[in-house]
Each structure stands twice: as C-alpha cells, then as structure tokens.
Amino acid sequence: MTKPEPLAQQDIKRLRMAGLVLPRAPRPGERWVPRTDAEVHLLREAMRLDQMRQLLLAEVGRLRQASGQRSGAEIREEAAREAARLRECPLSPTLLGVVAAGAAGLTQDETASRLHFAPASVKTNRARVAAILGTRSFGHSIAVCVQAGWVAPGPTRTGVDG
C-alpha cells in the first residue's frame, strides 16, 4: 500500500471554504424546503457529509499541530522575521574580519597571524560572534554571515598579507 500524498494547503483552504449549499427557493425571499422523500433523503445525506467534512478538517488540523508540521505561511513569516533580524549586520568590522578569515578556511592561529591578534583574542572573538548572532557554533556563524551577504566565502581580503 502506497503512502498517501499530504494535502496541499490550497486543497485544505478549498475544503474549509466549501459547505452545504441549498437549492434556490422557487420565489425570492422564501426559504427552500424539501418537498419529496427523495429531497429529504438527499438533504440529510448532504448534511451528514458536510459534518464529516468539518470533522476531517478538524482532525487534519489536530494532526498537523501534533506533528509540528507548519504551513507555508508560518514558514514564510518565520523567514521574514529572521531576515528582518539579520538585515543590519550587528558585528563590528573586527568581528567581521574574524568571520571572513574563518570563511576563507583559516585556522585560529592563521587568523591571529593575519589580523595581528593574539590567538586567545581570536578565540574570544569567535565566541562573541556566535553569542551576538545567536548561533550554535562559529561554523554556524560563518554560514549565517555568508548567507546574509556580510562576508564572502573564499580567500579573505583584509589588506594584510600573512
């Protein structure tokens, strides 16, 4: 048995907007009422199916919430918040130099030599970058800075030959 495809957000939206629609009344301003046994039966079945539609939608919502699955709108909102947070670079030029050296693949000692810092200062600055950006590690900090466009991956252009 194959696994069913997940419902697309637009399909769920259409299901939410759908509902039981009664036929038009014979005269404007009047309410439609079933006149035959067949119409009564069809109306009951339609009401039952509409209730099932509503129950299924509630279950889909409950399962998505329990699984932690997020909608496209939620993902876009989170990405927009993160982009707004990172729009302005919170790092000083010194810290950006340390990140750029890391992005170029330099070790802590090579970075210290190139930027004329003590190796302990480079270690402290790497930790400071991660703390400022709220990242898990210095490597994650490099990825965030490259993604934001604050530093370019590859050889550094610090103006100091090392």
Contact (Cβ atoms closer than 8 angstroms) between residue 151 and residue 96: yes
Contact (Cβ atoms closer than 8 angstroms) between residue 139 and residue 145: no
2-16, 46-60, 97-111, 148-162: least confidently modelled range: 148-162
8-12, 110-114, 129-133, 156-160: least confidently modelled range: 156-160
Q: What's the whole-number mean pLDDT along residues 18-33?
A: 82
| Residue 6 pLDDT level (bands cut at 50, 70, 90) | low
CA distance 150 to 127: 18
Among 75, 85, 90, 86, CA closest to 132: 90
Q: Indicate whether 160 pLDDT > 50.
A: no
The confidence score (pLDDT) of residue 106 equals: 92
Among 20, 12, 128, CA closest to 64: 12
Contact (Cβ atoms closer than 8 angstroms) between residue 141 and residue 96: no
> Which of 25-29, 72-76, 129-133 is the most confident on average?
129-133
Contact (Cβ atoms closer than 8 angstroms) between residue 18 and residue 57: no
Note the pLDDT tens digit of each residue in 72-118.
777 777 777 767 766 678 888 899 999 999 999 999 999 999 999 99
Note the pLDDT tens digit of each residue in 44-78.
888 888 888 888 888 887 887 777 777 777 777 77
Q: Tell whether pTM > 0.75.
A: no
Q: How far is CA 106 from CA 33, 50, 55, 110, 142, in A?
A: 80, 64, 58, 6, 12
Which SS3 state, helix, strand or coil, does residue 103 take? helix
Q: Residue 7, exposed/middle/buried by CB under 10 A (0-12, 13-18, 19+)? A: middle
List, in order, residues 6 or more apart from 133 with CB less than 8 Å away.
86, 90, 91, 141, 144, 145
